[in-house]
Amino acid sequence: MAEERIEKAKQMRMFITFAAGIAGLLFGLDIGVISGALPFITTHFELTSRLQEWVVSTMMLGAALGSITTGWISYKLGRKKSLMTGAALFILGSIGSAFAINIVMLLISRVMLGFAVGIASYVAPLYLSEMSEKENRGKLISMYQMMVTLGILLAFISDTIFSYGGHWRIMLGIISLPALLLMFSVFGLPDSPRWLASKGNFVQAKNILKMLSTSDEKADAELQEINESLKVKQEGWSLFKENKNVRRAVYLGMLLQAMQQFTGMNVILYYAPQIFKHAGFANTEQQMIATVICGLTNACATLIAMKTVDKQGRKPILTIGFAGIAAGTFLLGLCLYMINAGFDAIWISILAVIMTLFTITSFAMSAGPVVWILCSEIQPLKSRDFGVACSTTTNWIANMLIGATFLTLINQFGIAVTFWIYTVLNILFVIFTILLIPETKGISLEKIEKNLMDGKRLRDIGN
């Protein structure tokens, strides 16, 4: 009997991880899919550079709107219904983009998809952290980031397959299949006991906890803990207005996410085929295969990062990562500069690909996972929801800005100088990291909060 219960609880937790993982996968699929589809969409609708940028960045606009509003939606409707809303929007947005009869319909569908991504990027990690046992919390959140990179990779592979016939509509439409899978899985999910308890629904919260726990004692203890933590009321906005130290933490989270995006990593992911075209890979097939290699590198480097981030510490990893991206974008710019100046040696194109992969690796092993981890660690408990919502929204707004300016920058300054602009920014980020970012490895969240509230310098709040 006891064994059967343990087995059932294990299965339920696995199912929860699977469903939230699908949300991460969709997040990645939607980020990844556009790079391969864009060249065909551009030809089909005869798009200018400005409109191409909008096709890429309207999704980020939707995601920024989604992450601003989701705090409220997920509080009102609960995590489960929010995920369901997200899944429905994923389906509508994918089908709408696939059948777009004009550019306006495509842009509207992209905003809808973005809204779904905004919901997924806020609710799924939150749901996971609320449904997991505390020993597994960190692992589950890294697993979610891993699913995002896997989604990007799968999108690149599917784009490559459909690029042979130029089938951009299928590239965009096929994403509705995992979205349907998400919809069906979410039906089977229990609501978060923490959310139910916050709404005063203790009986149902307890029943779900019993289903997830291996014994009634464990379920009772967990409910007790939830009740304790609910005593800490979320007062993000009022604390933000009143307390200078809370503001410092919120601004630090926003700075971290802005730095993550202005590394230029997503420019490489969104515009990879165009970059490879500049590097001299003339045919679409070569460009698409090089793009798949980018996705694979990103996923593998994230896997390594998951294993090292708790051992090496956040600050050295971030410093080395930004320095690596600065070096990578500098050399990539140099290669592209030489190619444009008429040097057509094959080794320059190969070096350009190597530098692209080096830049991706430097990001995936540092700013990719570390920024998300730091953002959840530095916010004081009472304003954590508010702080994380501010930093997540900053991520999407910055993401939109870089997506919306890349081609304009290329037209204005040329591709080499555009990458050198990212080089300069990454050098600045090395300096910011040394001066402002704390080391939080192995320090309890309570200690970080106390240091922050005592007014210690930001870079010292982890000491």
> Cβ closer to ligand BGC: 160 or 399?
399
Q: If binding means CB under 6 A, how many residues of this protein chain bind ligand BGC?
A: 13
Which one, 213 or 257, has the nearer CB to ligand BGC?
Answer: 257
* 269 in contact with ligand BGC (CB under 6 A): yes
C-beta atoms surrounding 204 within 10 Å: 14
Compare residues 152 and 196 and give the one whose CB is closer to ligand BGC. 152
Rg of the chain in Å (alpha carbons): 22
Residue among 240 and 429 whose Cβ is closer to ligand BGC: 429
Segment interacting with ligand BGC, rule: CB under 6 A, options 4-12, 147-155, 303-311, 443-451? 147-155
Candidate segments 38-46, 276-284, 364-372, 443-451, binder of ligand BGC by CB under 6 A = 364-372
Q: Closest separation between CB of residue 434 and ligand BGC, Å?
A: 22
Q: Which residues contact 118 (CB under 8 A, 6 or more apart)?
A: 62, 63, 64, 65, 66, 67, 68, 69, 70, 396
User: If you count them, how many residues does the chain have?
Assistant: 463
Question: By the 8 A CB rule, do 369 and 305 touch?
Answer: yes
Site for ligand BGC in 11-40 (CB under 6 A): 31
Options 266, 349, 379, 423; binder of ligand BGC; rule CB under 6 A: 266
Residues numbered 292 to 321 that lie near ligand BGC (CB under 6 A) are 298
Taking CB under 6 A as the rule, does residue 368 contact ligand BGC?
Answer: yes
**Closest-CA residue to 273 (of 13, 40, 86, 59):** 40
Cβ proximity to ligand BGC: between 141 and 148 the closer is 148
Least gap, CB of 365 to ligand BGC (angstroms): 11
- Residues 29 and 14: their CA atoms lie apart, in Å, by 22
Task: State which of positions 40-59 bind ligand BGC (CB under 6 A).
Answer: none
Q: How far apart are CA 202 and CA 194, in angstroms?
A: 9
Q: What 3-state class would DSSP assign to 101?
A: coil
SS (H, E, C) 248-310: HHHHHHHHHHHHHHHCCHHHHHHHHHHHHHHCCCCCHHHHHHHHHHHHHHHHHHHHHHHHHHH
List strand residue ranges (DSSP E) for 336-390, in order: none
Contacts of 428 (CB under 8 A, 6+ apart): none
Distance between CA 169 and CA 154 in Å, rounded? 16
Considering only residues 149 through 168, tell me which ones interact with ligand BGC, judged by CB under 6 A.
149, 152
395 in contact with ligand BGC (CB under 6 A): yes
Residue 291 touching ligand BGC (CB under 6 A) = no
Q: In terms of Cα–Cα distance, which of 449, 456, 136, 440 is closest to 318?
A: 440
Q: How far is the first Cα of the chain from the last one, in angstroms, to the nearest whole number? A: 48
Q: Closest CB to ligand BGC belongs to which residue? A: 368
- For 263-289, b where at least 16 C-beta lie within 10 A, e where not — what string? bbbbbbbbbbbbbbbbbbbeebebbbb
Range 398-427, binding ligand BGC (CB under 6 A): 399
Residue among 246 and 371 whose Cβ is closer to ligand BGC = 371
Residue 149 CB, nearest approach to ligand BGC (Å): 5
Q: Does 430 bind ligand BGC (CB under 6 A)?
A: no
Specify the residue, 240 or 358, whose C-beta has the smaller distance to ligand BGC: 358
Nearer to ligand BGC, 29 or 290 (CB): 29
| 159 or 191: CB nearest ligand BGC | 159
User: Which positions lie near ligand BGC, rule CB under 6 A?
Assistant: 31, 148-149, 152, 260, 266, 269, 298, 364, 368, 372, 395, 399
